[in-house]
Structure 1
Amino acid sequence: MTKPLLLIIASAALAIVPGVSNATPSAEGAPRDAAAAAQAPAPTEATKRYCAVETLTGSHIQKKTCMSRDAWIKAYGFDPAKQ
């Protein structure tokens, strides 16, 4: 009984406290996330990540593995760019 009550109190406290979001406009008027995304370099072929999701037999939990193309080829002999 105390856990649901504690959860309600914590939720109410978080709703009351104002927070600063990342989407707050900067001095130029553009959101900070958009400005950071515009300055970030585009991923090159060497840094691009490929992800595979696998479900183990006898389990409902999925495992997600993300690696670069070179790492996939080196570890498994599999080229994800050709799939």
Structure 2
Amino acid sequence: MSIQKELEDLIKNEVLIEIEDYIDELFEIVAAKKENDEIKEELKQMQEMKKEFEDMLVDLVHGDIDDEECEEIIAEINDMRKEEEE
């Protein structure tokens, strides 16, 4: 499997799903009228992050991301996920 395909699978099958689940949780807080400015800002940031990953998928499909950049992005994603677990 190419590194581009590995990154594409990671984004599609894990990252975007996790982001969408978190966005849903934030919307539930908003719907329950328990939100504050911090929650609203978090929701905005997560929606922007989702868009960035979707744009990255388009770039991957068009071959605009080289092997080295894919490796860096995968490492950044893994670091982000480790920080969330702590």
Q: TM-score, normalised by structure 1?
A: 0.27
Q: TM-score, normalised by structure 2?
A: 0.26
More helix by share: 2
More strand by share: 1
* Structure of higher RCO (CA pairs closer than 8 Å, 6+ residues apart): 2
Larger radius of gyration: 1
